Structure 1
Amino acid sequence: MKVKQLVTYAIVAFVVFYLFTQPTGAANAVRGVMDGIGTGAGALAQFFNSLFAGS
């Protein structure tokens, strides 16, 4: 359990460090993740529409 907590703190510290030292890079990373989620959601919606439309 200690290792998991230590890794979590290390990741949070890295994210905060990255946010303050490279704000533009951090914004681009978040934008990229959101674009990926949006693309995946659109593809999933298209799949289910095609599945239930019977085409």
Structure 2
Amino acid sequence: MDVKKVGIAIVVIFVLFFVISQPEQSADFVTGILEALADAAGALILFLRNLVA
């Protein structure tokens, strides 16, 4: 088996275990990631607007 495939399988198993055993914390984690991405996108848009202006 390829090392990359084994690594991906381990990550998938860990994520599934985390989601099944702690669904509320998993949802909070995903929400936090999405909020961070939204903040980063907003900051990038603000930067580009100020760059053009």
Give the TM-score normalised by the residue count of structure 2.
Answer: 0.96
Q: Does 1:12 align with 2:44?
A: no
Deviation at 1:50, TM superposition (A): 0.1
Aligned length: 53
In the alignment, structure 1 residue 48 sits paired with structure 2 residue 48 = yes
Letter of the 1:24 partner, please give it.
Answer: E
**Consecutive aligned runs of 4 or more in structure 1 exceeding 2 Å deviation:** none
Counterpart in the other structure of 2:27:
27
| TM-score normalised per structure 1 | 0.93
Greater RCO between the two (CA within 8 Å, min separation 6)? Answer: 2
Which blocks of at least 5 consecutive residues in structure 1 are unaligned?
Answer: none
What is the Cα deviation at residue 48 of structure 1?
A: 0.1
Structure 2 CA distance for aligned equivalents of residues 3 and 31 of structure 1: 31
- Equivalent AA in structure 2 for residue 50 of structure 1: N
Superposed CA RMSD? 1.0
